[in-house]
Amino acid sequence: MGWTSLADLFKQHGKNISLIIHAAAQPSHDWAAREPLTDFTVNANGTLNLLEATRLLCPEAVFIFTSTNKVYGDTPNRLPLIEHGKRWEIEPNHVYADGIAEDMSIDQTLHSLFGASKVAADVLVQEYGRYFGMYTACFRGGCLTGPSHSGAELHGFLAYLMKCTMTGKPYTVFGYKGKQVRDNIHSADLIRSFDEFFRNPRIAEVYNIGGGRYSNCSMLEAIEMCQEIVGRKLNWTYSEQNRIGDHMWWVSSLSKFMGNYPDWKLKYDIPQILKEIYEENRERFSGQ
């Protein structure tokens, strides 16, 4: 949507707009490298358009931006990790043992072009909050998922993995011995966190949001769970080459958000998420 049509939409509703949840994005690292101009136009310029329309036409509205943990680039890969049988794990005495916090630097690291465009958008959202006193928040998500997630090979970890297990479609694990760890947050838990912020907004906030220590798994662990739920083996192969900038271990610290919004907590863990994806898509995937 161009600036003119976007401005017209905001003018039509004006100050009746109380909440903007900005979830539009080009989400693929690999695609961004092929089309960097388009990627930056969608992720960075698109965010600027929304922020400016909000500032001019409904400045009291709450602006929630679905950012990404990729704003930290590959800095998480510098953490001291220990190799276990099925996963990488951080040293137990490390400051981030309960999850990576918002004070991790986003500077001087390999972001991928997708990560760079999301950094630009993330900083814009913060700046509009601080400079203009707007209620803005960047929710830096890990893996966001749920039963309606249309997982694809390049993104959509759990949904695509379950789809491949159910349909027999081949799956490739890229690097890190399949022990890379991701936290996953169910869309219902994420939306409830947005609602908490909307009801009690703050200016220029940044939150890491994900499954944290409650809902995380490695690739190997996820494969085992999918196979157990479906009752069949996944047709998977291993590639030594990891994806550029991919994290070996990511678990979000939820301490900051839960400190500000103590009534919120996660309801879904990995087994629940996978079972729901399976049950909700049995008919959908049966023909595939």
Q: What is the pLDDT of residues 213-251, one digit of tens each?
A: 999 999 999 999 999 999 999 999 999 998 877 899 999
Measure the CA–CA gap between 253 and 194, rounded to whole angstroms.
17
Residue 288: per-residue pLDDT: 63
The torsion angles phi and psi of 214, rounded to 5 degrees, stand at: -80, -30
The torsion angles phi and psi of 63, rounded to 5 degrees, stand at: -115, 110
Closest CA to 185 of 222, 221, 216, 219: 216
Q: Which domains does the chain have, with CATH numbers?
A: 3-283 (3.40.50.720)
Residue 4: per-residue pLDDT: 75
287: tokens are 């023909």
Measure the CA–CA gap between 226 and 132, rounded to whole angstroms.
47
**pTM of the complete model:** 0.94
Write the burial class of residue 34 (CB in 10 Å: 0-12 exposed, 13-18 middle, 19+ buried). exposed
Does residue 27 surpass a pLDDT of 90?
no
